[in-house]
Structure 1
Amino acid sequence: MTLVDVTRGISAVILGFPHTGTEVPAEIWRRLNANGKRLADTDWHIHRLYEGLLADATSVRATFHRYVIDANRDPEGVSLYPGQNTTGLVPLTDFDGLPIWNEGAEPAEAETAERRAAFHAPYHAALATEIERVTAIHGVAILYDCHSIRSRIPFLFAGTLPDFNIGTDSGRSCDPAIERAAAEVTRNAPGYTGVLNGRFKGGWTTRHYGNPERGVHAIQMELAQSTHLVSEDVPFAYDDDKAERLRIHLKVLLQRIAASAASLKRRTTRETR
């Protein structure tokens, strides 16, 4: 089993895909209950949605499922949203708060540590390597973390989620120009809704790597799955027509972000002299 798929490009932009993987080792699969085996919380088809939108972008994709371990959670298990419902480093429930493991089969602390070393660490080692490589080329790196989620999940949030959910850790993880470009493109996308730092402000990846002072900028995009799926339920099929309409705006967004790299590089160069 290949844990991480890396496609190297020479753009300043790196696309992260921590949640599109559906691989589950057999010994773990046997312990999932019928609900868990639906793998309902996958970021379905997101790597396909972004494919080819930005020439020469690097991509780093985890192939393992988030029920094995969540590559976008703090490895120490610290909650991203204290006081709010969420799922942990190794989830015990799905996004609806329902158990995903057979009775008595929930991973213990020692097993979580093993999975962290075997899956979580290699993904982030690969991501960190690409960030370092791209920064060496451009002087800056822009990590765009790609996500999706069902538009209605009462356990996690009230009402219906906007189509575009931009997270920048409340402006701390990237330069304001990147945040502004993302907000402008999504705000001007006809027929779509969007929010900046709403329910989703960026996961551990965004918060951990985003360090504008050192030339590393990170932004998360959480897309409502209603924007590109036939239905937000089994079999979670890709809707070509919806996806093509959405890809128009995602392409513009990535191009805008990539274009900002040159000015960010100049600024970083001046500040380090």
Structure 2
Amino acid sequence: MTASTTSPVFSLQRGSLPLLISIPHLGTQIPADIAATMTPVAQRTDDCDWHLDRLYGFAKRMGASILAPVNARYVIDLNRPPDGANLYPGQDTTGLLPIDTFDKEPLYRDGYLPDEAEIARRRDAYWKPYHDALVNELAALKAQHGKVLLWEAHSIRSHVPRFFEGRLPDFNFGTSNGASAAAGLGEALTAVVERHGGYSAVANGRFKGGYITREYGKPAQGVHAVQLELSQITYMEEQHPYAYDETLAAKVEPLLEALVTTALERVRAA
């Protein structure tokens, strides 16, 4: 049995398993008042985690709860701390309210950069409702099942020189260096990919988990969080218009299902 909740800023599909899949960079909409301050490049939402709702279609069938925003990360980044602190000190990153793209193209017209009041407004209007829904769903699932797996679903282009050299591994698992999930979970998931063959994988490499993974993953309290940053070259065309590749996706989907199933089994056994 499943139920759904919709709001102006997110959708939540409730499932029957102790599993919540959060896709915080799935949204593509930009409210008109914000769009009016932005450059044309912003309208392409280049840095969206494209098509992950489609790629994770199996999760709905297996009984996962699925939480996703309506708006693009250019409106506000739901996977950043509310104070905008850099999660990777010393490394370049985009902030709570990104002002440029991954390719350093400006998102705002001259004179329209968001001020502190606008940042606070967006935090209240867009960031807080998503996190309230996430917290409430985790609490409900934990109350029902005793333990819960939070799977943070992300994707990114295979080459983004701003953030990393060369080509990114295909599967990038983050458990905040083991602090956000059962011991060895990241390494166990990497081993699943290696046994499958055909893809590269790493645990707690360039991506160790964003704010959501680090903030809500508390294995001692029964909440286990893992982030998967999936290279987009594994399932889609990485250039505009960012088309879904049915042939590539058909190969990666069964592996994704095996990974989520493995993680859920290990959480239940923890």
1:132 CA displacement: 0.2
Contact 1:166 1:195 in 2 (8 A): yes
Question: What does residue 87 of structure 1 align with?
Answer: 94
1:46 aligns with 2:52: yes
Identity of aligned residues (%): 42
Question: What does residue 28 of structure 1 align with?
Answer: 34
Q: Structure 1: any 5+ residue segments left out of the alignment?
A: 265-273
1:236 aligns with 2:242: yes
Question: What does residue 268 of structure 1 align with?
Answer: none
Amino acid corresponding to residue 122 of structure 1 in structure 2: P
SS in structure 1 of the partner of residue 196 of structure 2:
coil
Equivalent runs, 1:122-201 vs 2, <5 Å: 122-201=129-208
The TM-score with structure 1 as length reference comes to: 0.94
SS in structure 2 of the partner of residue 255 of structure 1:
helix
1:192-245, CA deviations, whole angstroms, 9 ceiling, x for partnerless residues? 11111111110000000011111111000000100010x211100000110010
Contact 2:69 2:130 in 1 (8 A): yes
Q: Partners of 1:89 and 1:261 in 2: how far apart?
A: 30
Amino acid corresponding to residue 206 of structure 1 in structure 2: T
Which shows bigger deviation, 50-59 or 238-247? 50-59
SS in structure 1 of the partner of residue 58 of structure 2:
coil
Contact 1:11 1:258 in 2 (8 A): no
Question: Structure 1: which 4+ aligned runs deviate by more than 3 Å?
Answer: none
1:81 CA displacement: 0.7
Question: What does residue 96 of structure 1 align with?
Answer: 103
Amino acid corresponding to residue 47 of structure 1 in structure 2: D
Amino acid corresponding to residue 232 of structure 2 in structure 1: Q
1:262 CA displacement: 2.8
Question: What does residue 115 of structure 2 align with?
Answer: 108
Question: What does residue 43 of structure 2 align with?
Answer: 37
Q: Partners of 2:43 and 2:30 in 1: how far apart?
A: 10
The TM-score with structure 2 as length reference comes to: 0.95
Residue 76 of structure 2, aligned match among 61, 69, 79 = 69
Q: Partners of 2:107 and 2:192 in 1: how far apart?
A: 37
RMSD in angstroms over aligned alpha carbons?
A: 1.2
Question: What does residue 257 of structure 2 align with?
Answer: 251
Residue 20 of structure 2, aligned match among 14, 30, 33 = 14
Contact 2:99 2:108 in 1 (8 A): yes
Question: What does residue 217 of structure 2 align with?
Answer: 210
